[in-house]
Amino acid sequence: MVEVLEKAFKFYQQKAQAVNTQQTIQAIERQMQTFQGKMNSKELELRTNNLTPELFNKIGLIITYRILRGTLEECLRC
């Protein structure tokens, strides 16, 4: 009986982690939608400043965040 309960607990932990990851991905996608369309350099700068690493770090994408942030900042320098 204990083994069954342990397996069930592990399953629900994994399910909760998957749901949390999916919610984080959706939050990142919503944040990235603000970069769609035309905008001037001031708008780009403001939106880049609102881009935070916490969501990316939460699901192990901190390097992706750094590359994205660096690319956006390079666009601002042009």
pLDDT greater than 80 at residue 78: no
What pLDDT digit, counting tens, does each position of 12-66 carry?
888 888 888 888 888 888 888 877 888 888 888 888 888 888 888 888 888 888 8
Q: How far is CA 23 from CA 1, 45, 58, 59, in A?
A: 33, 26, 11, 10
Burial of 65 (0-12, 13-18, 19+ CB in 10 A): middle
pTM of this prediction? Answer: 0.62
**Per-residue confidence (pLDDT) for residue 77, from 0 to 100:** 82
Domain ranges of the chain: 2-77
